[in-house]
Chain A
Amino acid sequence: EAQVTQNPRYLITVTGKKLTVTCSQNMNHEYMSWYRQDPGLGLRQIYYSMNVEVTDKGDVPEGYKVSRKEKRNFPLILESPSPNQTSLYFCASSSLPGPGGYTFGSGTRLTVV
């Protein structure tokens, strides 16, 4: 089944403790991206990657890092999480600019206390 897999689904952590949210896709998509969803703000793009070793900042990259060492994986790293990074995070992949749209992962609900 074609899918984007994010782990974990839920995570509670403490301020300053480094964490990684993993994202993997099995569709051989070149394009991958991370978003955060906050009430009243919709989805905002954090980082995106057009291919292996090619990443770029989205609208809200501060406090986040990403890497794209393999085509299928695009982990999101929070080196020193803060409470304002409490959010619902989505990973997505796409064959754009080819046909279709994004395929999103199921989301990771992160709480930083």
Chain B
Amino acid sequence: AQKVTQAQTEISVVEKEDVTLDCVYETRDTTYYLFWYKQPPSGELVFLIRRNSFDEQNEISGRYSWNFQKSTSSFNFTITASQVVDSAVYFCALSPTGNQFYFGTGTSLTVIP
């Protein structure tokens, strides 16, 4: 079975705090893709990152960083020095084939000025 769990439904932080969004996935496939998407209040879905299962290197992009650990089936997302513009719903997703996608239920992040 394929499954993505985002246990944190809602998180609130004060601006400039760091925040980590958790993502745990389940799959029996040995090759798969992992993704993070952002959905701001305007409603569109914005692609943030894709990771291949064979690439466990962590990634940093500006204030964003991602920690992929196959041993714990986790793909966590950290925002450093959060800003009000980071307020959004964030979705983690799994695709074993590149065709079928499984999304988590999302984490709603509110950054308080």
Contacts and interface: CB of A to CB of B under 8 A. Distances in A.
A85 interface: no
Interface in B1-23: 4, 6
30 contacts: A31-B99, A35-B101, A41-B105, A42-B4, A42-B6, A42-B91, A42-B104, A43-B45, A43-B91, A43-B103, A44-B103, A45-B101, A45-B102, A48-B99, A50-B99, A96-B33, A96-B98, A99-B50, A100-B50, A101-B37, A101-B47, A101-B50, A102-B35, A102-B37, A102-B101, A104-B45, A104-B47, A106-B44, A107-B43, A107-B44
Interface of A: 31, 33, 35, 40-45, 48, 50, 56, 58-59, 88, 90, 92, 94, 96-97, 99-104, 106-107
A101 B100 CA distance: 13
Size category, B interface: 20 to 34
Contact of A97 (B46, B98, B103): B98
B100 A48 contact: yes
Interface string B75-113: 000000000000000010101001111111110000000
Contacts of A40: 105
